[in-house]
Structure 1
Amino acid sequence: MRIIRSKDFTATRAWGADDIANMGGTTTRLHWTDQPYRWHINDGEEVFAVLDGTVDMHYRELGVEHVVTLVVGDVFFAHVGCEHVAHPRGEARILVVERDGSI
């Protein structure tokens, strides 16, 4: 049993994480960041839920870049092959569910 107060979580570096669970090869991690990540494509599907802050999610479809603004409670689903990068506006806390070892 564990209670996690996401609003209280911080890390010593951007995209630092609290590894909450690994369930059959699927990880659930709480990330804190105040910096963009990098463009990437995950090895599998990814669920990205904003718990605190605002995040501009950039993604490419058919070579065209799109941006959607995510606020608290919003969820971004990246299917296999979806190239994307998250740009927080200030501090953000994000719950990420993805295949173990994915980038």
Structure 2
Amino acid sequence: MKVIRKKEFTAQHAWGALDIANMNGITTRLHWTNEPYKWHINDGEEVFVVLDGSVEMRYKEQGQEKSAQLNVGDIFYASMGTEHVAHPQGEARILVVESEGSV
């Protein structure tokens, strides 16, 4: 049993994570960041939930770059093969559910 208070979690570096659970190879992690990630394609599907802050999610569809502004409670689903990068505006805390070992 765990109780996690998102506002109390801060990592030592951007995209530092607190591992919450690993259920049959699917991980749930709480990330803290104040810097963009990198363009990447996950090894599987990804669910990205903004818990605190605001994030501009940039992604590519048919080679064209697009973007979506994500605020608290918003969810971004990256299907297999979706190239994307998260750009937080200030500090953000994000819940990520993805295959274990994914980028």
Identify the residue that residue 8 of structure 2 maps to in structure 1.
Answer: 8
Supply the distance in 1 between the matched residues of 2:93 and 2:7 (Cα, whole angstroms).
7
User: Percent identity at matched positions?
Assistant: 68
Matched AA of 2:2: R
4+ residue runs over 2 A deviation:
none
Q: How many residues align?
A: 103
| Residues 42-75 of structure 1: CA deviation (Å, up to 9, x unaligned) | 0000000000000000000001000100000000
Identify the residue that residue 47 of structure 1 maps to in structure 2.
Answer: 47
What root-mean-square deviation, in Å, do the aligned CA atoms of Structure 1 and Structure 2 show? Answer: 0.3
Write out aligned runs for 1:1-103 (5 A): 1-103=1-103
Supply the distance in 1 between the matched residues of 2:2 and 2:68 (Cα, whole angstroms).
32
Supply the distance in 2 between the matched residues of 1:44 and 1:12 (Cα, whole angstroms).
27
Matched AA of 1:56: E
Supply the distance in 2 between the matched residues of 1:80 and 1:2 (Cα, whole angstroms).
30
Matched AA of 1:57: M
5+ residue gaps, structure 2, are none
Supply the distance in 2 between the matched residues of 1:18 and 1:37 (Cα, whole angstroms).
17
Supply the distance in 2 between the matched residues of 1:7 and 1:83 (Cα, whole angstroms).
29
Supply the distance in 1 between the matched residues of 2:66 and 2:25 (Cα, whole angstroms).
30
Supply the distance in 2 between the matched residues of 1:57 and 1:92 (Cα, whole angstroms).
12
5+ residue gaps, structure 1, are none
- 1:88 offset after TM fit, Å? 0.1
